[in-house]
Chains A and B, each alone.
Chain A
Amino acid sequence: MAKITMVQAVTNALDEELARDDKVLVFGEDVGNNGGVFRATDGLQKKYGDKRVFDTPLAESGIIALANGLATQGWRPVPEIQFSGFIFECFDEIAGQMARQRFRHAGSRTCPVTIRAPFGGGVHAIELHSDNVEGLLAQVPGLRVVVPSDPYDAKGLLISSVRSDDPVFFLEHMRIYRSFRQEVPDEAYTVPLDKAEVKREGSDVTIITYGYMVRESLNAAEDLAKEGINAEVVDLRTIAPLDEETILNEVKKTGRVVLVQEAQRLTGVMASVASLIAEDAILSLDAPIARVSAPDTPYPCSDAEGAWLPNKDDIIAAVKKTVNF
Chain B
Amino acid sequence: MKKLDFESLKHNPEYKVLQVLDTDGKVVDKDLMPDLTDKELVELFKAMIWSRLVGDQTAKLSRQGRLGFFAPTAGEEASQMASNFAMDKGDFLLGAYRDIPQLVKHGLSLAKGFMWSKGHYNANDYPEELNALPPQIIIGAQYAQTAGVALGIKLNGKKNVAYTYTGDGGTSQGDFYEGINFAGAFHAPAVFIVQNNGYAISVPRKLQTAAPTLAQKGVAAGIPSMVVDGMDALAVYAAAKQAREYATEGNGPVLIETLTYRYGPHTLSGDDPTRYRTKEEEDEWHAKDPLVRMRKFLTDKGLWDDAKEEAYNAEVAKEIDDAIKEVESQPEQKASDLLKFEFVETPAAIQRQIDAYEEKEAK
**Residues in chain A within 8 A of chain B (CB atoms):** 25, 51, 56-57, 59, 61-62, 65-75, 92-93, 96-97, 102-110, 141-142, 144, 164-166, 193-194, 238, 241-245
Contact = CB atoms under 8 A, between A and B. Distances in A.
Interface string B157-173: 00000100000000000
Nearest to B130: A108
B265 interface: no
18 contacts: A57-B182, A62-B175, A65-B182, A66-B147, A66-B182, A69-B150, A70-B149, A70-B151, A72-B92, A73-B92, A73-B149, A103-B338, A105-B125, A105-B134, A106-B125, A106-B341, A241-B347, A243-B349
Contacts of B124: 104-106, 108
A69 B342 contact: no
B152 A69 contact: yes
Please report whether the interface of chain B is mostly helix, strand, loop or mixed according to DSSP.
helix
Interface in B323-360: 338, 340-345, 347-350, 352
B152 A74 contact: yes
A166 B155 contact: no
A184 B6 CA distance: 62
Contact of B148 (A66, A164, A242): A66
Interface centre among A71, A97, A144 (most CB of B within 10 A): A97
Contact of A75 (B155, B175, B352): B155
Nearest to B125: A106
Given A56-B182, A105-B124, 11 more contacts: A61-B144, A65-B145, A67-B148, A71-B148, A72-B149, A96-B138, A164-B344, A164-B345, A194-B348, A244-B349, A245-B348
Can you list the 9 inter-chain pairs with the closest CB atoms, starting with the nearest? A69-B148, A73-B152, A65-B144, A62-B178, A106-B125, A69-B149, A241-B349, A66-B148, A165-B344
Interface of B: 92, 121-122, 124-127, 133-134, 138, 141, 144-153, 155-156, 162, 174-175, 178-179, 181-182, 185, 338, 340-345, 347-350, 352
A103 B342 CA distance: 5
Contacts, number: 140
Contacts of B144: 61-62, 65-66, 69, 93
Nearest to A246: B348
A107 B340 contact: yes
A166 B345 contact: yes
Nearest to A244: B349
A56 B184 CA distance: 12
Contacts of B181: 57, 59, 62
Of the listed residues A104, A110, A245, the one surrounded by the most CB atoms of chain B closer than 10 A to its CB is A104
A31 B77 CA distance: 44
A89 B101 CA distance: 32
Given A97-B138, A141-B342, A69 B145 contact: yes
A59 B162 CA distance: 20
A65 B347 contact: no
B202 to A, nearest CB: 24
Contact of A144 (B92, B134, B185, B347): B347
A61 B175 contact: yes
Contacts of A144: 347
Nearest to A141: B342
B186 to A, nearest CB: 8
Contacts of B138: 92, 96-97
A246 to B, nearest CB: 10
B179 A165 contact: no
Contact of A72 (B133, B341, B342): B133
Contacts of A109: 126
A157 to B, nearest CB: 14
B343 A102 contact: yes
B123 to A, nearest CB: 8
Given A103-B338, A104-B124, A65 B345 contact: no
A65 B144 CA distance: 5
A62 B121 CA distance: 28
A73 to B, nearest CB: 3
Contacts of A105: 124-126, 134, 341
Contacts of B152: 69-75
Contacts of A107: 125, 340-341
